[in-house]
Amino acid sequence: MLLNAVVIVLREVLEASLIISVFLALSQILNRSLKWMLLALVSGLISGFIYAGTISTVSMAFGGIGQEIVNATINILIFMALVIFVTAVPHQNVQRCRRLTVIAIMSTVILAIMREGSEVLLFITGFIGVPDLLGPVLMGGAVGAGLGVSVGVFIYYFIVNLIPRHGVWVGYLLLLLVAGSLMSQAVEFLIQADLLTSSEPIWNSSNIIDEHSVAGQLLFALLGYEATPQTSQVIAYICSMAALLCVAMFSFIKRDRN
């Protein structure tokens, strides 16, 4: 149980930590104020507590598929915020774009912490009535959270110590991976809710990396790894990354022409 708690909490914390570290680094490169971070963290944690506390009601909504719909919606909203961010970044000499950058960052961080934080809370609170397991779960959760935060700190310092232009594109690359993972997960939630048609997996890489193993969970958090992805998930993954990349390149080209 200790190892399971480490892996589960690490996966959830790592997803949020990746987003936060990239935005912190890009904010520093772009000379944006970091005051937004405290507000976003507090708002995200409060939202996570509320979401976790109302999960039973949410799950029963829409005929029992409320949680899947809400989770898919959160992922789609984060993706939309990423699109706004990469669109606004090249035009930081325009005040409106500077404000949009901060709004997009805050929205993404709040939603990410809300979703991942609620998952961690639900996992841990599930063992409150089992004293023999609660201790190992709390210890494992602390270790997992610490590892997730450590990876985020490493990513932050790695990006900010690059040449600023290179740091921006490394941050963009990581956001592309986040976008692909989010939209693939959104499609999976909609399939679980029977709002999208299920299909046979395109491949099965479980014999190489089991998605339930430590390595599989880490790859899921960082890359959205699925051992048995369906066609719609792969399409969503590739198209969302391509769309975000095209928007980013078009925005920079437009800036250079002006």
What are the boundaries of each domain within the chain? Answer: 2-132+151-257
C-alpha pair distances (Å), 128 with each of 15, 131, 133: 25, 7, 8
pLDDT in tens, 60-76: 999 999 999 999 999 99
pLDDT at 24 over 80: yes
DSSP reduced 3-state for 210: coil
On average, the pLDDT of the chain sits at 90
Higher pLDDT, 21 or 6: 21
Token duo for residue 120: 């961690």
Question: Would you state the pLDDT for residue 258?
Answer: 66
- For the cut 70, the answer to whether the pLDDT of residue 2 exceeds it is no
Task: Look at residue 109 in the predicted model and tell me its pLDDT.
Answer: 94
Confidence of residue 224 (pLDDT cuts 50, 70, 90): confident
- Strand, coil or helix: what is 163? coil
Amino acid at 159: I
Lowest-confidence region among 34-38, 52-56, 149-153, 236-240: 34-38
- In this prediction, residue 146 has a pLDDT band, given cuts at 50, 70 and 90, of very high
User: According to the model, what pLDDT value does residue 96 have?
Assistant: 86
Q: Which residue has the higher pLDDT, 218 or 83?
A: 83
What would the pLDDT profile of 180-189 be if each residue is shown by its tens digit? 999 999 999 9
pLDDT score of 1: 60
pLDDT band at 150 (very low <50, low <70, confident <90, very high): very high
User: If you search the block for the tokens 């598929």, which residue do you land on?
Assistant: 65
In eight-state DSSP terms, residue 30 is T
